[in-house]
Amino acid sequence: MAELSFATTTRAECRLHVGRGELARLGARLVEAFPPPRKIVVVTDRNVAPFWLERVESIVTEAGYASHAVLVPAGEEAKSLRILGTLWDRLLATGADRGTVVLALGGGVVGDLAGFAAATLLRGVPLVQVPTSLLAQVDAAIGGKNGIDRPLGKNLVGTFHQPARVVVDPDLLATLPERELRSGLAEVVKYGFVREPKILDLLRKAGDLEGLKAKPEIVDELVARCVQIKVEIVARDERETGERVLLNFGHTTGHALEAADGHATLLHGEAVAIGMVAAAFLAVDLGAAPPTLPAEVTEVLERFGLPVASSIETKRLLPFLGRDKKRKTGKSRWVVVESPGKAGLVEDPPAATIERALAAIHKKGEEDAPAA
């Protein structure tokens, strides 16, 4: 088990508890942060609720809180203004006040949506994150970024609203579908290439997805290392004005793929996996990385069954790339890896370079299909 914390820009503290069995200690973590009596509203989706909602509500009520639950649809389509409006209304219908705590129980979508609702309800109420997916445990639930999608792109409207507590328990991954587990591994791979090559060594040691599932000690170490990296970076750059941008490796193309796809076939991690390959080709084209980098990125991703190419044509991606949320003063910004553990930022690479990188990940044939 590990306990981490960092001070936020509002001088509040975000504290993270990481380790197996942490869900059982959720009540104590809540009491420590928000002495009862209070109201806690658990926001979750229809996929997670059958597995974990009853247990979490039991923990909350046994700790002395009034518990309410709000269910939202599962999937990226829930990150919409319509669903957000419904969530606001249902939170208000519970009698929520500024002492009410919103507890996000789910993956990245639930965390994004519930976090945005908590940031804006009554001009801001406390938030707790209990991530149930690998992607959320190593990345999405940490750092306070939240938001919803718009027709012009992904995560284009949102806020920074730090959770007071994040409870990361790898035991919750037991109910995660295999495809979602693969998707989360893309974010783990990202940390390995951007910051810590040891993560790539651990993945290779596991061998493949079945090997990883058979070695919970490697899962635990991967989760702990990724959380540590994310916390250290967020503590230095909470508002993503500097080095935190590097954690978007693969996300420029990844978000464009998701938007062009209409969130119909690609999961977030799958799109990011393809995006990392595109970014590797771009780095080579710019002379920032050796020619072997795309093959190195591809090998790790394919080892765990993640896609490395897409049938979505370049011309469909370009409009979404032009609206990437990392753009600054009209310039596009791409995260490039020079070698595992060493990453940087490139502003406005030549259009021809971008198009060649996208061409390198394009495959002809049927539209992208979900992995098994």
Residue of 337, 246, 338, 265 lying closest to 307 (CA atoms): 265
CA atoms within 13 A on the CB side of 170: 22
Question: Binning pLDDT at 50, 70 and 90, where does residue 325 land?
Answer: low
Whether residue 69 contacts residue 53, with contact meaning beta carbons closer than 8 Å, is answered with yes
CA atoms within 13 A on the CB side of 367: 9
Say whether pLDDT at 55 is over 80. Answer: yes
Active site residue 240: yes
Question: Binning pLDDT at 50, 70 and 90, where does residue 369 land?
Answer: very low
Whether residue 4 contacts residue 15, with contact meaning beta carbons closer than 8 Å, is answered with yes
Across the range 253-266, mean pLDDT stands at 92
* Of 68, 268, 270, 303, catalytic: 268
Q: What percent of the chain has pLDDT over 70?
A: 95
What is the rounded distance in angstroms from the CA atom of residue 171 to the CA atom of residue 245? 30
Helices and strands of the chain, counted as H and E runs: 14, 11
* Of 22, 57, 238, 240, catalytic: 240
* Of 161, 255, 263, 303, catalytic: 255
Active site residue 145: yes
Task: Work out the burial of residue 261: count CB atoms within 10 Å of its CB; fewer than 13 is exposed, 13-18 middle, 19 or more buried.
Answer: buried
Domains of the chain, start order = 2-175 (3.40.50.1970), 178-360 (1.20.1090.10)
Helix (H, G, I), strand (E, B) or coil at 338: strand
Active site residue 255: yes
Give pLDDT tens digits for 20-32.
999 999 999 999 9
Question: Binning pLDDT at 50, 70 and 90, where does residue 89 land?
Answer: very high
Active site residue 248: yes
* Of 39, 79, 145, 182, catalytic: 145
Give pLDDT tens digits for 195-204.
999 999 999 9
* Of 251, 258, 270, 303, catalytic: 251
Say whether pLDDT at 326 is over 90. Answer: no
pTM passes above 0.75: yes
Say whether pLDDT at 372 is over 50. Answer: no
Q: What is the pLDDT of residue 2?
A: 81
Out of 1-15, 18-32, 149-163, pick the least confident.
Answer: 1-15
